[in-house]
Amino acid sequence: MENQENSLSSTSESRDINYYSVLQCNQNSTIDEIKSNYRSLIKKFHPDKQSKEQSYSDDKFIHIDKAYKTLSDEQLRKEYDAVLLEKSFNESSLIYAELEKTGLDFDSEGVAVFPCRCGQNIEIYKSVLDDEESLIECSECTNCVLIK
Ligand SMILES: [Zn+2]
């Protein structure tokens, strides 16, 4: 039972780990930068170099190792980048919807409303028609509607 709980928590943890931040680099980093970061981190966190009290670094070491195995392989890195992209799109995409100007239905006061996923109505004013593209923010959450 205890083992089960452990494996569950480590699964959800590793899902949230960003390999780039583990290796202190970013998606633009070259393989050489990734390699050199990996080498210095692995020295710092290698379990053999830690005292027993610092067993937390075992986890750290495993993550560093896993991150490096993924990011040092061109194909795996590409796949990982695609996952990250999808993840960031799903989790923090600011654009909730794209609307065509021609599809907007303004009322007599020149306001069109769009129901945001948070439940709030996003108000779109007729002045958006003057601009090529407008980004309207929801007043209640971080979503935006792109009008073009
Ligand atoms: Zn909203």
Residues of the chain with CATH 3.10.660.10: 95-147
95-147 CATH, one of 3.40.50.9100, 1.10.1040.10, 3.10.660.10, 1.10.3720.10: 3.10.660.10
Here the tokens at position 101 are: 């100007």
Other Cβ atoms closer than 10 A to 98: 11
What's the rounded Cα separation, in Å, for the pair 76 and 78? 5
**pLDDT tens readout for residues 86-145:** 776 665 556 778 999 999 999 999 999 999 988 999 999 999 999 999 989 888 888 889
Q: How far is the CA of 68 from the centre of ligand 1 (A)?
A: 38
Q: How far is the CA of 31 from the centre of ligand 1 (A)?
A: 40
Q: Is the pLDDT of residue 1 over 50?
A: no
Question: Would you say 98 and 133 are in contact if contact means Cβ atoms under 8 Å apart?
Answer: no
Here the tokens at position 85 are: 């992209």
Q: How far is the CA of 144 from the centre of ligand 1 (A)?
A: 8
What's the rounded Cα separation, in Å, for the pair 93 and 41? 32
Q: How far is the CA of 142 from the centre of ligand 1 (A)?
A: 6
Q: According to the model, what pLDDT value does residue 83 have?
A: 87
Q: How far is the CA of 119 from the centre of ligand 1 (A)?
A: 6
Q: How far is the CA of 114 from the centre of ligand 1 (A)?
A: 10
Q: How far is the CA of 84 from the centre of ligand 1 (A)?
A: 24
CATH of domain 2-92: 1.10.287.110
Residues of the chain with CATH 1.10.287.110: 2-92
Q: Is the pLDDT of residue 39 over 80?
A: yes
Q: How far is the CA of 109 from the centre of ligand 1 (A)?
A: 22
CA distance between the termini of the chain: 55
Q: How far is the CA of 38 from the centre of ligand 1 (A)?
A: 41
Q: Is the pLDDT of residue 25 over 60?
A: yes
Q: How far is the CA of 115 from the centre of ligand 1 (A)?
A: 8
Q: How far is the CA of 136 from the centre of ligand 1 (A)?
A: 11
